[in-house]
Amino acid sequence: MKRNIKDDKSYFLTMTTIQWIDFFTRPNLKNVIVDSLNYAVENKGLNIFAWVLMSNHLHLLANTHDNVKLSDVVRDFKKFTCKKIVDEIITQKDSRRDWLIDKIEFNARISPKNEMFKVWQDGNHAIEIYSEDFTWQKLNYIHQNPVRAQIVEKEEDYLHSSARNYHGIPGLVKVECLTPPVMHLGKPGFFRV
């Protein structure tokens, strides 16, 4: 089901790798995502309220500054990170290099978009944020992802998540933390203090 991202709304986004391949098990590929998120925040008008990078997907609770389309930011992010991930895989000594390149090229060949390489599945499973309760439900879901996967016991111990920011620990990505009670941002569909 295609979900269109509307202007002036906030979303819970899920970006998933092709065939749910575990690309993000190596620090260099995790750093591609962290650096790209920070770049989008600093230069593209992205507001991140929560995030988590798992081995094969990325969750964001996000919106954008006025006059910036979230769909454009996400498209550019996925396009850039795809190229950067492929470059990293090709240039780094990785035991999975040949297998990963084969999967990336195969998925590009079968894609209707006529791409050379494909790392991300099409779509972002964008779910519009519609209430304060829903916001907190998704924020908790994001932060508990590594706990449910039994990677860490406490959410704040997972390095590639905004849970650290919410526990007063400096995080890897610039995040705008939400705190209850949440007040309307003035932008339809999201809340922030």
What CATH number does the domain containing 95 carry?
A: 3.30.70.1290
Q: 10 Å Cβ neighbour count for 164?
A: 20
Residue 113 lies in a domain: yes
- Residue 186 has a pLDDT of 39
Q: Cα–Cα distance between 185 and 188 in angstroms, integer?
A: 8
Q: Cα–Cα distance between 34 and 41 in angstroms, integer?
A: 11
Residue 123 lies in a domain: yes
**Six-digit token pair at 170?**
């400096």
Q: 10 Å Cβ neighbour count for 76?
A: 15
Q: Please check the confidence at residue 116 and state whether its pLDDT lies above 50.
A: yes
56-95 confidence digits (pLDDT tens): 999 999 999 888 999 999 999 999 999 999 999 999 888 8
- Residue 181 has a pLDDT of 55
Q: 10 Å Cβ neighbour count for 180?
A: 10
- Residue 127 has a pLDDT of 93
Residue 80 lies in a domain: yes
The one-letter amino acid at 86? V
**Whether 11 contacts 64, CB under 8 Å:** no
Token pair 């849970």 is found at: 163
Q: What Rg value do the Cα atoms of the chain yield, rounded? A: 17
What is this structure's pTM? 0.89
Residue 157 lies in a domain: yes
Cβ neighbours for 136, distance < 8 A, ≥ 6 positions apart: 180
Helix-helix angle 97-109:70-91, to 10 degrees? 140
Residue 131 lies in a domain: yes
**Whether 192 contacts 59, CB under 8 Å:** no
**Whether 173 contacts 166, CB under 8 Å:** no
What's the domain range around 161?
11-166
Residue 86 lies in a domain: yes
Average pLDDT, the chain: 89
Work out the pLDDT band at 172, boundaries 50, 70, 90: very high
Helix-helix angle 27-43:70-91, to 10 degrees? 150
3-23 confidence digits (pLDDT tens): 567 767 899 999 999 999 999
Structural domains in the chain (count): 1
Query: Percentage of residues in the chain with pLDDT exceeding 90?
Result: 75
Residue 81 lies in a domain: yes
- Residue 152 has a pLDDT of 97
43 class by beta-carbon count within 10 Å (0-12 exposed, 13-18 middle, 19+ buried) = exposed
Residue 109 lies in a domain: yes
Q: 10 Å Cβ neighbour count for 67?
A: 8
